[in-house]
Amino acid sequence: MKDRINLGVCFLLLFLGYSISQAITVGPAKIEFTVNPGETLTFNLFVRNDSEYDTVYFLSLEGFTEINGEKKFFVDPPEKNWFNFPTKINLSAKADVQIPVAITVPNDAPPGGHFLVIWVSSGAPQIEKGQVGIVGRVGALIFINVRGNAIYRAEVSKFLANRVAWSFPVKFSYIIKNNGNTYIRPTGYVDIKNILGKTVASLPINPKEFQILPNTEKTLETQWEGPTAFGIYRAFFNMGYGESSNLNFTYWFLFLNVKWLAIIFAIVIFIIFVLPFLVRKYNSWIIEKYKSRNE
């Protein structure tokens, strides 16, 4: 049970700037490269021993994918021979080190996305029944996009929003499906315009910079917060992904503010019922006054 809890914490912290677990700090937690076949990349992996004891750390490489929104890791990825880094380091208590990592992409590397993770653990990997059991491991996710016949293709597979909004925030939830062969990271803005065409809000798309792996989909959400609104609005989604691909769509919705509705309802009631009554009373008063003068 303790091992499962530790692994859960590790996966959660992968999306932070640095990963911390079991008195280990590893950074950066996410690295992205776009490379040509035959190119060699180098970077440093930061590792710090946050414990009070001298510790031996083991480094290992795995591949990963996503299934139903969850990352699934597997041993012996096809790209394992691309990497060169030490598999074992000794660190004194509270000490840190920059570990050099070299990635040599072969000339015949398949174009598109390649997704790896370098694990740093305080225990040696134990492979059992096709799974890797490691206590206290922390990982750095590596996204490699190999140039070539990379295919960028995405679609909105599902869109969820209310046609009528009664209060803030106004939420737009949409599922983006990646039909290409490399990962994408949607960017851009949602422009909210009123019926006169004036932009009343410009909201960033995917502010957390989520990546979407090939043949997977991910739910993104945009929220509009505002001081007040009333009437018909248009949400224009201008989404970019890949190197030069765009996905644009428009969504019309109605914002009905209860306060403004009450005011409009009161005005309508006044015009339909109260005003005619007042006009009739006024006309009667004028007629009575005219008669009294002529008597």
Q: What is the CATH number of the domain that holds 23?
A: 2.60.40.10
The domain in which residue 204 lies consists of 154-255
Give, in order, the Cα–Cα distances in Å from 190 to each of 146, 163, 222. 30, 16, 8
What are the per-10-residue average pLDDT scores of the chain (295 residues)? 40 44 85 95 96 94 91 95 97 96 96 96 63 68 93 93 93 95 94 96 93 94 91 95 89 84 72 80 76 68
User: Secondary structure of the chain: what % helix, strand, coil (to 5)?
Assistant: 20, 50, 35
Give the pTM.
0.74
Q: Is residue 44 part of a domain?
A: yes
Helix (H) or strand (E) holding 286: helix 275-294
Tell me, what's the pLDDT at 244? 83
Tell me, what's the pLDDT at 272? 85
**Boundary of a domain, candidates 146, 180, 205:** 146
Q: Is residue 274 part of a domain?
A: no
CA–CA gap between residue 86 and residue 93 (Å, rounded) = 20
Counted domains in the chain: 2
Q: Is residue 175 part of a domain?
A: yes
Q: Are 183 and 145 in contact (CB under 8 A)?
A: yes
Tell me, what's the pLDDT at 143? 96
Residues 98 and 167 in one domain: no
Q: Is residue 265 part of a domain?
A: no
Could you tell me whether strands 19-21 and 24-27 are parallel, antiparallel, or unpaired per DSSP bridges? Answer: antiparallel
Q: Is residue 280 part of a domain?
A: no
